[in-house]
């Protein structure tokens, strides 16, 4: 005749797969009911509804029938968080997504965004990425402005990524690994996609691109707070953000919306880049504030952050043999400004 002691001793041989301990040791045997040789037990596991629970269920039936049970009734419950903690907690499970997005990934994601188009956000993205690479960092950039992709052209890239098996290898330029929707459309064709398709393409940029090891991944977001920006905020919960504005009051006003979105999704705002801050005459050296003044300061005050730099209107020196129409050389006056911005970004990230 079965007794409660016999049943309990038999259950000592059954392990909770997630805690790797006997269900008796974990306190998982909640209830034992006996009627003749019919057994009913209630068992608590660290996790239920899993394939491992099915294994445990089958093992309990086998061991109890091996002790002489005619029938075995089973109900399952979950251990409390406190009980799991008392057993040393659950072991860390292997991350099943791409290494780039793993919780312990060393890559810092920096989304460069703006409230409206035409403020030079992509120019800032490209030059920040290039300058970080000059400073010895391993850098990638995703042109996430899928409707208005421009990064390949700004870098002067004429080649396309290589595809080996099911992996895409980004194009490298000035030490920066580059991926863009522009590589996957023909003859500058328009992209006519709805939100879910955009999200899928963005996900592919993370999962199917062979990035290797990166210190920084720059994301050139489309302006505003639409589908792509929302997808990025969801995919990258720990992304940091740089907002680009001009000195004009309206540009700063709409950029504040993008900043508010970052704050609501718990993204850290690294700071503001005020682009087109002024025009400096090469003849007289005088500064003309073509788009007004104060937009960057107002935005920084509203979002409780700082101005990383103010970039004047300008144009890189064009090298026809190494054409990159938007990349400033390290010794160019504006290139030196980007160096200071990149150093501030590194300091804020690594302090």
Are 46 and 122 part of one and the same domain? no
Question: Does some domain include residue 294?
Answer: yes
Are 79 and 104 part of one and the same domain? no
pLDDT digits (tens, 9 = 90+) for 278-292: 999 888 989 999 988
- The region that residue 276 occupies, defined by phi over 0 for left and psi between -120 and 50 for alpha, beta otherwise, is left
30, 57, 86: which is the final residue of a domain? Answer: 86
Residues 6+ apart with CB under 8 A from 229: 113, 221, 222, 258, 261
Tell me which residue of 82, 74, 90 sits closest to 29, measured CA to CA: 74
Are 144 and 20 part of one and the same domain? no
Instruction: Show the domain range for 155.
Output: 99-350
Question: Does some domain include residue 67?
Answer: yes
Question: Does some domain include residue 224?
Answer: yes
Buried b (16+ CB within 10 A) or exposed e, 138-168: bbbbbbbbbebbbbbbbbbbeeebeeeeeeb
- CATH of residue 222: 3.40.50.300
How, if at all, do strands 171-173 and 29-35 pair?
unpaired
Are 285 and 317 part of one and the same domain? yes
Give, for all 351 residues of the chain, the pLDDT tens digit.
889 999 999 999 999 988 999 999 999 999 999 998 899 999 999 988 777 888 898 899 999 999 999 999 999 889 998 999 998 888 765 445 566 777 677 889 998 988 777 788 899 999 999 999 999 999 999 988 777 788 999 999 988 888 887 788 999 999 999 998 888 776 555 554 555 555 567 777 888 889 988 999 999 887 755 555 556 656 665 788 898 988 887 766 666 766 666 666 567 889 999 999 999 988 898 999 998 888 888 888 888 889 999 999 998 888 877 888 899 999 999 999 999 999 999 998 876
23, 52, 86: which is the final residue of a domain? Answer: 86
Are 126 and 244 part of one and the same domain? yes
Are 77 and 110 part of one and the same domain? no
* Assessment of whether the complete model's pTM goes beyond 0.85: no
pLDDT digits (tens, 9 = 90+) for 328-350: 999 999 999 999 999 999 998 87
Residues 6+ apart with CB under 8 A from 301: none
Residue 71's H or E segment, with its range, is strand 71-78
- CATH of residue 27: 3.30.300.130
Question: Does some domain include residue 118?
Answer: yes
Under DSSP, the state recorded for 90 is: P
Question: Does some domain include residue 91?
Answer: no
Question: Does some domain include residue 214?
Answer: yes
Identify the three-state secondary structure at position 245: strand
Diameter of the chain by CA atoms? 105
Are 110 and 63 part of one and the same domain? no
E strands present in 118-160: 139-143
Check residue 27 and give its pLDDT: 94
86, 110, 131: which is the final residue of a domain? Answer: 86
Contact yes or no for 107/212 (Cβ under 8 A): no
Are 205 and 309 part of one and the same domain? yes
Question: Does some domain include residue 286?
Answer: yes
Residues 6+ apart with CB under 8 A from 128: 110, 112, 218, 242, 338, 341, 342, 345
| CA separation for the pair 47, 28 (Å, rounded) | 11
Contact yes or no for 206/100 (Cβ under 8 A): yes
Are 143 and 180 part of one and the same domain? yes
Are 231 and 273 part of one and the same domain? yes
Q: How many domains does the chain have?
A: 2
């Amino acid at each position: 005749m079965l007794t409660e002691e016999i049943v309990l001793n038999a259950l000592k041989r059954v392990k909770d797969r997630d805690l790797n301990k006997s269900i008796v040791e974990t306190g998982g045997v909640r209830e034992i009911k006996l009627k003749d040789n019919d057994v009913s037990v209630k068992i608590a596991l660290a996790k239920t509804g899993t394939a491992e629970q099915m294994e445990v269920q089958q093992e309990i039936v086998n061991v109890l029938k091996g002790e002489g049970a005619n029938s075995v009734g089973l109900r399952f419950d979950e251990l409390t968080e406190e009980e799991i903690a008392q057993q040393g907690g659950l072991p860390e499970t292997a991350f099943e997504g791409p290494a780039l997005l793993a919780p312990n990934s060393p890559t810092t994601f920096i989304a460069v965004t703006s409230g409206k188009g035409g403020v030079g956000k992509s120019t800032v993205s490209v030059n920040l990425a290039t300058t970080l690479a000059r400073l010895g960092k391993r850098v990638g950039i995703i042109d996430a402005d899928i409707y208005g992709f421009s990064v390949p052209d700004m870098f002067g890239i004429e080649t396309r990524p290589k595809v080996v098996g099911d992996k895409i290898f980004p194009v490298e330029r000035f030490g920066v690994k580059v991926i863009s929707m522009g590589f996957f459309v023909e003859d500058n064709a328009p992209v006519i996609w709805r939100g879910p398709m955009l999200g899928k393409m963005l996900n592919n940029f993370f999962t199917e691109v062979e990035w290797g090891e990166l210190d920084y991944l720059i994301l050139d977001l489309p302006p505003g707070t639409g589908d792509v920006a929302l997808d990025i905020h969801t995919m990258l919960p720990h992304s940091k953000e740089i907002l680009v504005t001009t000195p004009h009051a309206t540009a700063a006003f709409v950029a504040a919306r993008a900043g508010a979105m970052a704050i609501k999704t718990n993204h850290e705002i690294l700071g503001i880049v005020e682009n087109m801050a002024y025009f400096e005459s090469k003849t007289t050296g005088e500064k003309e504030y073509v788009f007004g003044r104060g937009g960057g300061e107002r935005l920084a005050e509203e979002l409780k952050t700082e101005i990383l730099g103010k970039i004047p209107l300008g144009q890189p020196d064009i090298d026809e043999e190494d054409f990159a129409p938007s990349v400033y050389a390290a010794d160019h006056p504006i290139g030196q400004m980007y160096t200071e911005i990149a150093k501030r970004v590194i300091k804020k990230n690594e302090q």
